[in-house]
A and B are shown apart, each in its own frame.
Chain A
Amino acid sequence: MKRFRRHGHESQRDRLKQELFQFNKTVEHGFPHQPSALGYSPSLQLLAIGSRSGAIKLFGAPGVEFMGLHDESAAVTQVHFLPHQVELVTLLDDNSLHMWTLQAHKGLSELLEIGRFTLTGPPGALPHVTRVTAVLPHSSGELLLLGTEGGHVFIVEVPGFRELEERNISLDQVQSSVPEDYIGRRSLEHVEALQENPVDSNQVVIGYDRGLMVVWDLEKHCAVQHIPATQQLESVWWTEDGSYILSSHSDGSYCRWMVGNSDPTTEDEEKSDIPYGHFPCKAIMKIMQLPTEEGPPFLLFSGGMPRASYGDRHCITVIHSKTHVALDFTSRIIDFFVITEGPQNTGDPSALVVLVEEELVVIDLQTEGWPVIQTPYLVPLHSSAITCSHHVSSIPFKLWERISAAGDLQHTHYSKKPWPITGGQSQAADPPQRDLLLTGHEDGTVRFWDASGVCLYPLYKLSTAIAFDTDADPNDNMNQSSEGEWPPFRKVGCFDPYSDDPRLGIQKIHLCKYSGYLIVAGTAGQILVMELNDEAAEQSIEAKVVDLLQGQEGFRWKGHTRLDVREEPVLFPPGFQPFALVQCQPPAVVTALNLHSEWKLVAFGTSHGFGLFDYHQKNSVFVKCTLNPSDQLAMEGPLSRVKSIKKSLRQSFRRIRRSRVSLRKHHVNNAAKLQEANARLEAELAEMELAPVQRKIEARSSDDSFTGLVRTLYFADTFLSDSSHNTPSLWAGTNGGGVFAYMLRIPPVEHRAEEPVTAQPAKEIQLMHRAPVLGIVVLDGHGTPLPEPLEVAHDLARSPDMHGSHHVLVVSEEQFKIFTLPKVSAKMKLKLTAVDGSRVRKVGVASFGSNRTEEYSESDLIFLTNQGDVHVVSLPSLKMQVHYPCIRKEDVSGIASCVFTKHGQGFYLISPSEFERFSLSTRSLVELRCLVEAPLHQRSQTDGANAVHRTSEKDDDDAESAARRVMEHALLNDEKVLQEIQKSLEGGPLLLENNL
């Protein structure tokens, strides 16, 4: 009977688990890592970005995002939308073409791959014959023209990828008609560009690498015109009215050619220009000319810079009338396009969209001065490398408004124009609360992101560098260009990975959402206490140096020095302004930080110890040195100890260079010696293979390095001395498995300014397994974690139960252990490492609500292991609930970057520039829900498009009847057929697969 009941209880818990937990990776925030291709559909108003890892991402209006991943992990080299369709074609590095579609289902669209295709040449043809170099989706929407390395143009029917062999344009056909006088007519080389005549869809221009351009009539299947350019061709543009073709070349020149001149002998280049001429220039990679309603057209081209002086710049030149600007980007230009106004997208150019390697820049071409439009998504999170992050849920509206107001003042240089890419509709519900994600960066900035919804939108940026004297003058403006400079550069973009002083790097952030206090701690032991001020204020900062060594003998800090605080008053812009500064001595990285805004106390820890700072009275309350006498490493500082990647890279380069030099010498001197060196190298390599990776098995001892490093700090109002009086307390956990608890005495509010805050050591726990302590949580009488400071005062949390006995939960890397309070004795534990060999990396407390009833919610512990799995453990019973694989275990930086929210979501970096958002909760789920409808004017398009649409409709019907037929033929035992039937019955897309 008892057993039966317990079973019932367990199944009830299992059911509850299903109501509480589910794992989803929901959104990728930020900028795709290593983008390699850009595409745009004017009819859908969607932007597509392909990446080197084979991902394809579509963006429309804010909140409209789609993502797909090619099975092959080859780089996406080209992305083209089929005109007026919801399909797009991608070309990969491995020469395969893929057809994707946005399929709407129950009001939500989904990006699906529906077909793949690899060009096959005639039997026995060399591979380069079919190597695709240029892709042109024909405006009819049913043809794809594929130019190849062999110089042929293949014509393929889409979306089914059916080769129309009879319509192919072979190199021989073209060559036979090339005028005799054209130099090098025998080798035209590969097809560099394909363009359609905007007014006559039967005409396309085929541009060959050698320079020759051929206007080809698809209907008559013959060359209409030859344009005999002699410079190596880079790109071709057919002007809006169809009367000119622009070509850009590798020598930095571009030419304009008249088209349709009836007399084939007089046609000539009308104009040729090397815009940044005189000295040798780099190639113009892409050129565009766009007409305006009235007035001169816009001419845009990328590249063409003088090779010697500006060859390293990444520029796009925009020329309109007398305005000529060379937009100077922060990284290599991948591609660009221009958005035009009007219902048919034939109006004036309104915005220039440029994809560079590290960011997306959109420039408003209609506002004077061509300001940048702030991107609502695709923001480069890594404009300076992210060093830490902090998430704050449910920001009170007042604070939110003040932060965004401060941010708006920083965004004045942006264009007022709305975001020009508006495709699709986001169906996602409005976020139930306002969440902030704060990222700390290497350059000493803290960025505030609106993380409430699908778009991670930048709200406000805080720079801590202005409080310090650094080598770089903060007023040194790189953007200022001298008058009359040629080319007329203008810097655009915000990607700036170069940090002036690594000591400025932000390591820990803590924001109290109720009081608006922010504390930020950095690499050189600096802790800034900041307050939100709506006005700019000039103030001088008083630094309080805190000695964490406490007179320990025999230690000498070998790391970096303290930051110098600016002595003169500094003018701080509206926003967070520092009013107190603590500097740790030795100036080691701050490894733990906490703030109690109700008690007005800040706790901070480094590898040497921890301290408590009273920011109300601006004095240090106490300091505790946690240093182990045998710990010498702690004194070396992070910069000397942990070699920076840059440094090690530099060293390895140097080593390579040295070895090359030495090898060359060997070669000169004695060939035998070289052989000897090679043999030695080989032997070394063989030895490396023979000696496998080994792991030492050794119990942790107190002698291990960095045992004194403070990993976590925690404030709690609990029972430390006796079970009848609760007192404020501070808890600290170290890398060596030590926990220190201090009893605090905080003067009553009326005497808070005069009487000192005092602290008294109360408890010390040394975990025998000596694993690093990652988290400390006090559980109240109900077993619920204590609320955050001020949470109860703001009526946002139930006040903790102070009648029942409290417990303290200590989370180490290896196990979870609950101790009773006030007498500390072990009550319960959950071992992790001893059982499955994984270790806790990140831990957080989150509340989970049931998706069935509004009433039920519980607090649980979420943690991420070094194996990349996320687990949920119940509180206070410490029972494993669920676990899901989340991050690849090899992705160490992803695991290190993970942060949890208070409602069961989390973020981690999937690349230096992208956060993946995941959710463990069934209730708190921010996910993409968007719809893209097929363009409305599709039917009013050319007959071809219409026909395609009709056939596709017919296809659907056909598929069903075909399925029935197949069934009638009783081929049911064939699995393939069954699958096909299944698919067609589901109305799903049939994977059109050719030549694979």
Chain B
Amino acid sequence: MNKPHRAPSSRALSAVEVKSKFGAEFRRFSLDRSKPGRFDEFYGLLQHVHRIPNVEVVVGYADVHGDLLPINNDDNYHLAIATATPLLRLFLQRKEDSDYSAFGSDPLNRKKNPVLSAVLLRPDSHRKKPPVVISLPRDFRPVSSIIDVDILPESHRRVRLYKHGQEKPLGFYIRDGSSVRVTAQGLEKVPGIFISRMVPGGLAESTGLLAVNDEVLEVNGIEVGGKSLDQVTDMMIANSHNLIITVKPANQRNNVVRSREAGAASGSSGRSSDSGASFYGYGGGYSSLGVNSGPAHIIQNFPVGELESDEEEDVVIEAGAEQEPNVPRYEPHLNLRRDPVTSATSDPAISHPSAWAISSPATSNGTLTSSASLGSLTTAAANGSSSHRARERRSLEEDGTVITL
């Protein structure tokens, strides 16, 4: 893979000085700026110079702004080489104790928490709270969230309930009821559909996004007005794999208050006070994402047109040469046994820090969806027929039953 020469022309030097740190040890060596080679060669070189041939490491470098950025594919490797000024400072960490949250720490935090000192030189010195761990993109999964905050009236809330890969039931009940509307003629009582009960431990309850007596206005973009309770029930069940409910919360005090200023939406969930560490604002047009281990409140633009993209796929089993007896049986949970194809597919490369927090890459059932903005996150070439079977298995395993021939 020969990349064009990307170094600034002012640089006469064709060699890049590399200072690599692993643990307490430093290694220094140089690379040809014009011929950086491939990432895996580079990775092998690092293992070689540090004499750690069998240790899995995470490679990071300090960019011109002092941010710690990862090197894990050809693109960001080349970028790192090209922008090295002139020293390329590398930081290697053992994979098992690597701290991903250090990557991409934002300019706001930098002063307080300079990358080099905080994360690498004095690793655990001034942390009061354990850092929030952001896992690698392959471990990301879509989570239930409030969406479309910017286009809905403030009194309404659109909630997306993701069930993917969870044993949790959706866990709520709906009922008929009546709501009062203000019309030109005065107050008018109209029939409506309401949430009547939450199942403890269910998805609806655990996310905290829906509550008893919330009025259901839409299901996946379709108004429920004029529809019977049974019809709405069937609509919700038919959409249960990706259920988007627009409600008018019974409790209007917790509404998302839309900020007037662009790009400053991070504080709007009303929970920002206790989760400073969990918010990573990336200026510009991206909305903030809050990810924590508990109930998730993610405020995110989600174009309705994309809703269809994460359709579940039907499982098709083509009879192969080897026929097993026609006995339905359980297969052990395949999660434990890593499927090589799937892990390959969901091992995306990362080229830009902001890509990290986007929550829509590989879903846990292997049905890959990629946001258009994340070109580099697209799956490896394994999207073809070889992964087909793997996908089937993965989508089966979430239901606990595997029917195979």
Contact = CB atoms under 8 A, between A and B. Distances in A.
Interface of A: 550, 552, 624-625, 627-629, 692-702, 738, 760-769, 771, 814-815, 817, 819, 823-826, 831, 833-839, 866-867, 889
Q: Which of A763, A766, A835 has the most CB of B within 10 A?
A: A766
A841 to B, nearest CB: 12
A697 B233 CA distance: 6
B267 interface: no
Contact of A625 (B163, B197, B326): B326
A769 B312 contact: yes
B197 A764 contact: no
Interface string B308-326: 0000111111110001001
A817 B316 CA distance: 13
Contacts of A825: 316
Given A627-B328, A695-B233, A697-B237, 15 more contacts: A624-B326, A692-B176, A692-B196, A693-B175, A694-B174, A698-B170, A698-B237, A699-B169, A699-B170, A700-B240, A702-B400, A764-B405, A814-B234, A814-B238, A833-B237
Contact of B234 (A699, A819, A839): A839
B2 to A, nearest CB: 37
A766 B314 contact: yes
A833 B326 contact: no
Contact of B229 (A695, A699, A763, A817): A695
B238 A763 contact: no
Interface of B: 163, 169-177, 196-197, 220, 222, 227-241, 243, 312-319, 323, 326-328, 330, 395-396, 399-401, 403, 405
Given A697-B174, A837-B231, A838-B231, A702 B401 contact: yes
Contacts of A625: 326, 328
A627 B240 CA distance: 24
Contacts of A766: 314-317, 396, 403
B240 A697 contact: yes
A764 B403 contact: yes
Nearest to B172: A697
A695 B175 contact: yes
A760 to B, nearest CB: 7
B197 A694 contact: yes
Contact of B316 (A760, A765, A837): A765
A814 B235 CA distance: 9
A701 B243 CA distance: 16
Nearest to B330: A629
Nearest 7 CB-CB pairings of A with B:
A837-B231, A699-B240, A833-B238, A768-B312, A695-B233, A766-B315, A834-B238
A838 B317 CA distance: 29
Contacts of A628: 328, 401
A837 B235 contact: yes
Nearest to B388: A825
Nearest to A553: B327
A702 B399 contact: yes
Nearest to B230: A695
A312 to B, nearest CB: 43
Contact of B174 (A695, A700, A819): A695
Contacts of B314: 765-768, 817, 826
Contacts of B234: 814, 833, 837-839, 866
Given A697-B172, A765-B314, A769-B312, A836 B235 contact: yes
Q: Which of B241, B312, B313, B328 has the most CB of A within 10 A?
A: B328
Nearest to B195: A697
A629 B233 CA distance: 27
A633 B315 CA distance: 25
B315 A763 contact: no
Given A696-B173, A834-B239, A823 B231 contact: no
Q: Which of A700, A763, A831, A834 has the most CB of B within 10 A?
A: A834
A701 to B, nearest CB: 6
A837 B227 contact: yes
A694 B173 contact: yes
A864 to B, nearest CB: 15
Nearest to B401: A702
A833 B316 contact: no
Contacts of A824: 316, 318
Contacts of A699: 163, 169-170, 237, 240-241
30 contacts: A550-B326, A550-B327, A552-B327, A628-B401, A692-B196, A693-B229, A694-B173, A695-B173, A695-B175, A695-B233, A696-B233, A697-B240, A698-B170, A699-B163, A700-B240, A701-B399, A702-B399, A702-B401, A761-B319, A764-B405, A765-B314, A766-B314, A766-B396, A768-B395, A814-B234, A834-B235, A834-B238, A836-B231, A837-B231, A838-B231
A693 B176 contact: yes
Contacts of A769: 238, 241, 312
Contacts of B240: 697-700
B236 A763 contact: no
Contacts of B330: 629
Nearest to B242: A834
A764 B177 contact: no
A760 B197 CA distance: 48
A50 B95 CA distance: 86
A826 B319 contact: no
Contacts of B169: 698-699
Q: Which of A552, A692, A738 has the most CB of B within 10 A?
A: A692
B271 to A, nearest CB: 26
